[in-house]
Structure 1
Amino acid sequence: MFNWVQNIADWFVYNLLNLNKEQHIAEALNFFIYDTIKILILLFVVIFFMGIVNSYFPIDKVKNYLSRNKLFGLEYLMASLFGVVTPFCSCSSVPLFIGFVRGGIPLGVTFAFLITSPLVNEVAIGLFMGLFGVKTTIIYVISGVLLGTISGVILQKLKLEPYLTPWVKDVLAHAQRDQDVFQAEKQTFKQRLPIIWAEVLKIIKGIIPYVLAGIAIGGLMHGYIPEGFFEKYMDKDNLFAVPIATILAVPMYSNASGILPVVQVLVAKGIPLGTAIAFMMGVVGLSLPEAMLLKKVMTLKLIAIFFGVVTLCIIISGYVFNLIL
């Protein structure tokens, strides 16, 4: 499908720049050009398509529905599934998280959304499918949704409301649920199109620095790191490879589209897929910038508990991936 992209990359590197195929810089640059074009195409197509879906699926309706209905535990799953159709990184999800809390939605349900949204969204799914195939993508999506759902249930059971900040407690104490069901304006598709396109450009503009940085790192790794380098530390025989990869990922920050090229190279260099995905989940789902933003609504103890539960679930997911893939 993307053979023509590879041809462009080959022509630019080996014909126009006249680099030798044996040079590390040539291999790294070829990878960067190919993956940049391919991923940007995937981003535009997937985000535009989901923009159409989201224009008929307003956030306020979901907030109102989740806050007004007892779904016998299914609200956690619904919040996770809603996270799948929102193309946000962990930091971008925080404002929506705050909105959920202010809307009276249970804390565990808001956590389920916060966890799943950066991990599994239409952008990540589109890129994952292009890089790793349908089977791996399906397993990844299911595990990401279950990760958000199970983590949300666990965090709700811990009764963590006392560890919200005084600002949130004050908001919740005086909050009145909106009794009016959100009614979207009746607009034709033609009228919605400029708004959808503007949102596509906004999202692309926001994530493209991370995409380019991730591809650049992936290109350098692809061109300069020798085969077998990672196997010594993170192969299947190392029992602690998954937790090491997850913990090392926490100080980093990127979104799914930015880190996937790095994951692709890690797998190509011999890292087990489950270990590489655990690393990706740690980078995407847990980050220091996210922790700083969450300080608006959570005490440090609550942030630590949140990060701890999600880290444990990611590690378990990594081991499960390594067993089934």
Structure 2
Amino acid sequence: MQFLSEFWMFIQDQVLGMKWLSTLIGQFLNFFGLDTSGKIGGSVQFFIYDVIKIIFLLCVLIFIISYIQSFFPPERTKKILGRFHGIGANIIAALLGTVTPFCSCSSIPLFIGFTSAGLPLGVTFSFLISSPMVDLGSLVLLMSIFGTKVAVVYVLLGLVIAVVGGTLIEKLHLENQVEEFIRNAKQIDIPQEELMVKERIKYAWEQVVETFKKVFPYILVGVGIGAFIHNWIPEDVIVRFLGTGNPFGVIIATIAGVPMYADIFGCIPIAEALLAKGARLGVVLAFMMGVTTLSLPSIIMLKKAIKPKLLGLFIGICTVGIIIVGYAFNAFQYLLV
């Protein structure tokens, strides 16, 4: 068991966390006279290390997930979801959300397509909540920063929010709150051609290029903010607002994440820096969930598809769920970190 524990720590720190890269970059910068123990040198080291690490993980993860996703085009996904009923359908929809797009704005067109196809509204909302919040990429990235326990619990609780939220919406029978152009859309089943391995690899690579172009600016911004927090904001300031002494830290972090637009790749460096400065774990994860699930641009897009009552319910369910998860992580942080 000791060997397995040490082996997994090696995987977590050196393979996923790539701490060897941080050391190498630090030695490189010191060689050229930049003191990495100072604010400027530390910021440069943090920025270069996190950008390279996140881009590498981004490309590898998107390629793998996109290859898996090539087996689940919208038509096939619709047929899979159509075989299940009740809470089982919500669970399958939430799980399918883990192998679909990386941000909420990308998930909304799929949500509209599934709703137009006649799938139960609660099922499509379970998918919509799960897709940006708990994709497979978030699991691996969270493992690289926060460890296995935090990553697994984060994903499980995110799936719970998706399943409970979708089930509640289904029970309230709010189909009339979906815009008519979606409810009345005519769907044509298009036969799905079975892709060859070469075609799946091509599709996965195209998704890597497309997603990289889309998220690269947010990675730079996120890492830049993280480097600033990590090296320039005093620790006592972070602790005062987001640490143990502030019982409203989770609520503040959730609300602060709403106006932002980023995906998990842009949030990770900010979360990493906040945690290192003394912010509570639940506060950091609530911020990440708020950004990825309730970003203002995605809410504006969703408003075009559903009416205010349903939109407000969606926002309310996600907000309450995120806040509960945040406080749960705060309460049990000592067991997870």
TM-score normalised over the length of structure 1: 0.92
Instruction: Write the letter of the residue equivalent to 2:247.
Output: L
User: Which deviations, in whole Å up to 9, do the C-alpha atoms of 1:64-117 show, x marking residues without a partner?
Assistant: 222x33433111111110111113201111111111111111111111111111
For 1:164 and 1:57, how far apart are their aligned partners in 2?
Answer: 25
Identify the residue that residue 13 of structure 1 maps to in structure 2: 29
Instruction: Write the letter of the residue equivalent to 1:58.
Output: P
Alpha carbons 1:242, 1:318 under 8 Å: kept: yes
Identify the residue that residue 157 of structure 1 maps to in structure 2: 171
Which of 50, 55, 59 is residue 44 of structure 1 equivalent to?
59
For 2:19 and 2:268, how far apart are their aligned partners in 1?
Answer: 20
Check 1:236–1:177 CA distance in 2 against 1; reply closer, same or farther (3 A cut).
Answer: farther
Instruction: Give secondary structure in 1 for the equivalent of 2:102.
Output: coil
For 1:230 and 1:211, how far apart are their aligned partners in 2?
Answer: 22
For 1:219 and 1:137, how far apart are their aligned partners in 2?
Answer: 22
Identify the residue that residue 269 of structure 1 maps to in structure 2: 277
For 2:95 and 2:52, how far apart are their aligned partners in 1?
Answer: 29
- After TM superposition, the runs of 4+ consecutive aligned structure 1 residues lying more than 3 A away are 175-178
Identify the residue that residue 78 of structure 2 maps to in structure 1: 63
Which of 124, 128, 144 is residue 110 of structure 1 equivalent to?
124
Instruction: Write the letter of the residue equivalent to 1:109.
Output: V
For 1:112 and 1:126, how far apart are their aligned partners in 2?
Answer: 22
CA RMSD of superposed structures (Å): 1.8
Alpha carbons 2:264, 2:292 under 8 Å: kept: yes
Identify the residue that residue 143 of structure 2 maps to in structure 1: 129
Which of 97, 100, 119 is residue 114 of structure 2 equivalent to?
100
Check 1:20–1:152 CA distance in 2 against 1; reply closer, same or farther (3 A cut).
Answer: same
Q: 1:22: how far off?
A: 4.2
Gaps of 5+ in 1: none
Gaps of 5+ in 2: 1-13
Is 1:145 matched up with 2:159? yes
Instruction: Give secondary structure in 2 for the equivalent of 1:60.
Output: helix
Alpha carbons 1:242, 1:319 under 8 Å: kept: yes
Q: 1:134: how far off?
A: 1.0
Instruction: Give secondary structure in 1 for the equivalent of 2:55.
Output: helix
Q: 1:226: how far off?
A: 1.2
Deviates more, 1:281-290 or 1:160-169: 160-169
Specify which structure has the bigger relative contact order, considering alpha-carbon pairs within 8 angstroms and separated by 6 or more residues: 1
Percent identity (aligned): 41
Check 1:72–1:162 CA distance in 2 against 1; reply closer, same or farther (3 A cut).
Answer: closer
